Amino acid sequence: MATAAGHTQPTPELVFDTLNAYQRTAALKAAIELDVFTAIGEGTDTAAALAKRCQAAERGMRILCDYLVIIGFLTKQGQRYGLTPDTAVFLDRRSPVCIASAADFLTSFEGVARFRDLTAAVRKGGTTMPGDGTVEADNPIWIEFARSMAPLQIPASEAIAGILNARAGEKWKVLDIAAGHGLFGIALGKHNPNAEIYALDWPRVLEVAEQNAAKAGVLSRYHKLAGSAFELDYGKDYDIVLLTNILHHFDPVMNEMMLRRVRAALAPGGRAVTLEFVPNDDRVTPPRAAAFSLIMLASTPDGDTYTFREFEQMFHAAGFSSSEQMPLPNGFQTVIISRK
């Protein structure tokens, strides 16, 4: 509220909204589990019809959908609900880029539990989860990650394929470290029929990546390397090494250790391709990239977000000759190309 002097009067609105933010998460999760967005996209658009279609009580469906209108996920005209442009693209399961499955990982019990006692994590300066948290060897959470999060990474994987000009069809040997769902290596294999992809991750995670490679039609050129990224022999003469969303899990010393191994595995003129949340030097902008550091505090002993200058220093210390950054259009993440 503005005062006569033009100053803004203090309001508890931000405090109230943030303390209740878990309700937004719960509402979106419920709508995804009930398949509300797909039902509305198909034309089932009243509370009564949605209740029947989604096997729910009409009162419950009305209250949930009204709340989704309030927070911006649905529209409402009279008694009829509609999808916003964003929900039509990303939450209707008929959409080829639907990311509804991400809710399985992002709202999992294990994921939420990391924040149950954030106070203790702040005092400690790292996760209070058992062992090494999400970076514990062969942690089963990465199986669910691989199954659930693949659709979320389609735009970034396609962007990297474009940045590297995969369609030119050069003969490539590609190493995908911490491959997870495998989409980044698979995208290069789809666009470049002369690319051989070597995916490194824990054995059960690689089973999911292998399934995705089969669906994409690149299984004959997809090879599994099961084990730790810090211990396994990578092999050599790679033209490209993919480091997508792995370096933020570790401190600079551990990252430099890995990057030295990456450099040694690259052929002359080879490139390391990093995808990361990269904040500006102020560490608070852009907000989505900068805020990711809180997840690392809650889930890892030493992980963090790093500025481009910090990444540049790590790659330089590992012996790379140069690094350049390319922010992706969605504003979430940045691609860094580092040359041997």
Q: What is the mean pLDDT of residues 4-8?
A: 64
pLDDT band at 111 (very low <50, low <70, confident <90, very high): confident
Q: What pLDDT was estimated at residue 244?
A: 97
pLDDT at 1 over 90: no
CB-CB contact of 205 with 138 (8 Å): no
- Average pLDDT over the chain reads 95
The model's pLDDT over 9-26, given as tens digits with 9 standing for 90+, comes to 899 999 999 999 999 999
Alpha-carbon gap, residue 188 to 196, rounded angstroms: 9
pLDDT greater than 90 at residue 247? yes
Q: In the prediction, which pLDDT does 110 show?
A: 86
With 70 as the cut, is the pLDDT of residue 331 above it?
no
Listed in sequence order, the residues at least 6 apart from 93 whose beta carbon sits closer than 8 Å to its beta carbon are 35, 37, 38, 100
Helix (H), strand (E) at residue 22: helix 21-34
When pLDDT is averaged across residues 44-56 and rounded to a whole number, the result is 98
What CATH code would you report for 13-96?
1.10.10.10
Residue 50 has pLDDT above 90, yes or no: yes
Distance CA 179, CA 242 (A): 8
Q: Give residue 329's pLDDT.
A: 81
Q: Which of 182, 173, 184 is closest to 265 using CA atoms?
A: 173
Give the pLDDT band (50/70/90) at residue 7: low
When the candidates are 2.40.480.10, 3.40.50.150, 3.30.310.220, 3.40.50.300, the CATH number that belongs to 112-339 is 3.40.50.150
The band of 92, judged by pLDDT with boundaries at 50, 70 and 90, is very high
Q: Are 207 and 181 in contact (CB under 8 A)?
A: no
The whole-number average pLDDT for the span 99-120 is 92
* 121-156 tens-digit pLDDT: 999 999 999 888 899 988 898 999 999 999 999 999
Average pLDDT (197-213) is 97
Give the pLDDT score at 209. Answer: 97
d(CA 212, CA 147): 9
Cα separations (Å) of 208 from 4, 18, 147, 179? 61, 36, 7, 10
Q: pLDDT > 70: what percent of the chain? A: 98
Would you say residue 4 has pLDDT above 60? no
- The full set of domain ranges for the chain reads 13-96, 112-339
Q: Tokens at residue 264, please?
A: 């040694």
